[in-house]
Amino acid sequence: MSIVVQKYGGSSVSSTEKIKNIAKTLIKRKKQGDDLVVVVSAMGDTTDDLITLAKGISNNPDKRELDVLLSTGEMMSCALLSMAIKELGYDSVSYTAYQVGIKTKGQYGKCLIDDIDSTKIVESIKEGKVVIVAGFQGINEKGDITTLGRGGSDTSAVALAVKLKGICEIYTDVDGIYSVDPRKYKNAKKLDFIDYEEMLELSSLGAQVMHSRSIELAQKYEIPIYVGLSNSDIKGTIIKGVNKMNLESKPITGLATSDDDIAVTLRDIDANINILSNLFESVGSKKINIDMISQTAPINGKVNVSFTIPRDEQKECMEIIKNFSKMQNISIDDDVTKFSVVGIGMKNTSGVAAKMFRVFSENDIEVKMITTSEIRITCAISQQDKTKAIEIAAKEFYL
Amino acid sequence: MSIVVQKYGGSSVSSTEKIKNIAKTLIKRKKQGDDLVVVVSAMGDTTDDLITLAKGISNNPDKRELDVLLSTGEMMSCALLSMAIKELGYDSVSYTAYQVGIKTKGQYGKCLIDDIDSTKIVESIKEGKVVIVAGFQGINEKGDITTLGRGGSDTSAVALAVKLKGICEIYTDVDGIYSVDPRKYKNAKKLDFIDYEEMLELSSLGAQVMHSRSIELAQKYEIPIYVGLSNSDIKGTIIKGVNKMNLESKPITGLATSDDDIAVTLRDIDANINILSNLFESVGSKKINIDMISQTAPINGKVNVSFTIPRDEQKECMEIIKNFSKMQNISIDDDVTKFSVVGIGMKNTSGVAAKMFRVFSENDIEVKMITTSEIRITCAISQQDKTKAIEIAAKEFYL
């Protein structure tokens, strides 16, 4: 008998019918002898609806009050799931973050979990109850209600699993983690296992199955996470440490693409790192996410710098960039797809980049920009080459 | 400078536009130097919508979880109102019952307020903030979220006024308390003042402007309550103790009618108080509200007993009554309007009943049943006589 912390996403609880189905699944599991702590997201589009309501008051709603407002979404789904379990004759109790002391630090809207007082949860488990906890929310040192940012319920679940020394299961509307997004490549293979770091890279590259922070937390405390379909017997994927995995020899585990960015190049700017640092600081202060920064070696004290910016923040971003370069020296390329391959095996495999660039070249795929990390290679390519690039890389790396 | 506790009902906060208007009104008042604590109900039909959601899970949803669910309605409107105030450049903070320790006792769904820890509210007032408190909700000794029953936000407001030694203002969609419901009698006069007990009688008779418990609480602690229209300069009504009022000499303050009940008569039942007591206990255990109980003197050890039952609970009620009397001895009269006049002055005025019955008789209004309290006379009359009875009584008693 062990404590199992499960998390159900918004699409899994989008109607009372679906909530009733989850209640049945939980009772089946409970009967197998596991103690259940269940984290639920807000029903379907509830969070978006609440944000729309707040926008009716202000274009820039006060963040403390927005957190109070948004926290109600998870309270509703929690109460309804607990009701559904009791309706089936089993005992259950729902708790808000306030009630179980999910203490957070940081700014409203994107707080980090600091600690959880598990007393009430453990008591309720001992009483035989299925414990339902509102995800995505916490309280800060002032006793204010806070939220953890989009997808924060994943982090709530992992943090509870850490605190309760339980295992963690994330149920969602996908049946596991794929080497390539199956909507983009029909032959994509589902992974039985994936390493934390690989999953982190994939998450940050737009394969948004999981909240990145939840994976970092799981990695830190070595909590394995199961990701799978809710109300289904289809086997999902386990995210865990590579030292615990029967690592296959292939260097690349996954592949991700994103069309969300455009490339900006600044030509002939002074080769002075202060200028760039000021530029990136200015952009960063607006919470705009710059990526794929690359700089060529200086010629006559001048350098060219390229980077990507989010497509939908182009206007705001250009306002800032204009202060750092002459307009005629700024060029924009909006025909950009970020194409990444990720693999923990890459650390021990030479030539992955070389192999990839060779097959791209053989297939006339222009590589516009390149950046790499220890376990990731990202290229900017033209959007028209995306499908071809996915097929080639998937075949080349057996994904 | 004094603390003013205001309460805005659901219809006053049914849209973000209305919430923004209330924010403006509050700031105007704040500028006049008053410290404001504001209790808001859930927006418009939110509570009904949440109940519908719960009914999607269960016909008889678990009461603890239903309270968690329902408490979200007031959290939303609180957060939005506080946002709206901040949007206008003034400081504000919203609190849930949990955060300001509105401690309650009793059953989920109809808890009574036991105490309020006013520390946080007082601190926030000192910081110059407009304090918004979620009405209708509390916490119990276990730390569970509770609710106070329909209309409970009135009680929240009065309890806060008691605790903060402030004055209490209830803003709603009616512009005050009338001697007769203005929808039923177009010449109805609005009252400048009404006594707590008169208001209590009127509330219990169907003039549902205020939650009865809020008036009892105000009476106990001698807190005057202003009732008026939100966002309006129209003068409303003050509910307060008679010893503080410039009492007019007229014996009757108000008049109320209700078509919600039907009359039941049991003929020739044994004149044994145990039988009646068992009957009323059985009905009461189903939370069915019996009223206007009257019994004739026994003849040969048999008595006739009449009483009213709620029209929409007739079926359930008759199931119980059948166990206590032969069917042929039960008669039902569903052509019933309860017609009541209320006045604290009645205590010192003889002949009010006599006067009323005389004018009814002169106008051919049949009086089917009569019950009285110290400050109230209630008759059951035929529904077709209702309008005539209102006009006659209003004229006779100068309402």
pLDDT digits (tens, 9 = 90+) for A221-244: 999 999 999 888 899 999 998 754
Q: With an 8 Å Cβ cutoff, are B68 and A57 in contact?
A: no
Residue A8, CA distances (Å) to A14, A101, A133 in order? 10, 21, 11
pLDDT(A248) > 60: no
Confidence check: pLDDT of A146 > 50: yes
Contact between B175 and B229 (Cβ < 8 Å): yes
Which class is domain B3-173?
alpha beta
Task: Give the tokens for residue A278.
Answer: 């000021």
pLDDT for B296 equals 73
Query: pTM value?
Result: 0.79
Q: Looking at residue A36, what is its pLDDT?
A: 97
Burial A197-233 (b: 16+ CB within 10 A, else e): bbbbbbbbbebebbbbbbbbbbbeeebbbbbbbbeee
**Tens of pLDDT along A268-314?**
888 777 777 788 888 877 777 788 887 777 778 788 888 888 888 88
Q: Which two tokens stand for residue A210?
A: 């999981």
Residues of B engaging A, defined by a Cβ cutoff of 8 Å: 15-17, 19-20, 50, 53-54, 56-58, 61-62, 64-66, 68-69, 71-72, 75-76, 78-80, 82-84, 86-87, 93-94, 96, 98-99, 120, 143-145
Tell me the C-alpha to C-alpha distance, in Å, between residue A212 and each of A126, A245, A261. Answer: 32, 20, 19
Q: Are A68 and B61 within 8 A, CB to CB? A: no
- Shortest alpha-carbon distance between residue B208 and chain A (Å): 29
**B261-333 and B3-173 share a CATH fold:** no
pLDDT in tens, B11-26: 899 999 999 999 999 9
Pairing of strands B167-172, B225-229: parallel
**A96 or A308: which leads in pLDDT:** A96
Compute the distance between CA of residue A289 and CA of residue A277 in angstroms, rounded to an integer.
14
Q: Going by C-beta distance under 8 Å and a sequence separation of 6 or more, which residues neighbour residue A78?
A: A40, A94, A95, A96, A132, A133, A134, B68
Interface size A-B, in CB pairs within 8 Å, comes to 117
The three-class DSSP label of residue A45 is coil
Give kind and range of the element (H or E) at residue A369: strand A367-373
**Domain residues of chain B, as ranges?**
3-173, 261-333
Per-residue pLDDT tens for B46-56? 999 999 999 99
Query: Which range, of A50-59, B29-38, B51-60, B255-264, averages the lowest pLDDT?
Result: B255-264
Cα→Cα distances A360→A101, A338, B369, Å: 52, 14, 96
- The two tokens of residue B250 are 């007229």
- Answer yes or no: do A62 and B54 touch at CB < 8 A: no
Class in CATH terms, A261-333: alpha beta
Model ipTM? 0.77
pLDDT of residue A243: 57
| CB atoms A53 and B62 under 8 Å | no
Residues of B in contact with A69 (CB under 8 A): 75-76, 79-80, 83
The chain B residue lying nearest A23, using CA atoms, is B57
Confidence of residue B278 (pLDDT cuts 50, 70, 90): confident
Q: pLDDT tens-digit profile of A28-65?
A: 999 999 999 999 999 999 999 999 999 999 999 999 99
Q: What are phi and psi of A277, to 5 degrees?
A: -65, -40
CA-nearest residue to A101 within chain B is B143
Residues 6 or more apart whose Cβ sits within 8 Å of residue B130: B26, B27, B30, B36, B38, B82, B85, B90, B91, B92, B93
Which of B65, B100, B127 best probes binding to A when mutated, by most A CB atoms within 10 angstroms? B65
Is there a contact between B84 and A57 if contact means CB atoms under 8 Å apart?
Answer: yes
Looking at beta carbons, which residues of chain B come within 8 Å of A75?
68-69, 71-72, 75
Distance CA A263, CA A314 (A): 10
Helix spans in chain A (H): 16-31, 46-55, 63-87, 119-126, 152-164, 196-204, 212-221, 273-285, 314-321, 352-362, 386-396
- Rounded to whole angstroms, how far apart are CA atoms B200 and B177? 12
Structure tokens at B286: 């189903």
Q: Give the model's pLDDT for residue A244.
A: 46
Structure tokens at B368: 């089917």
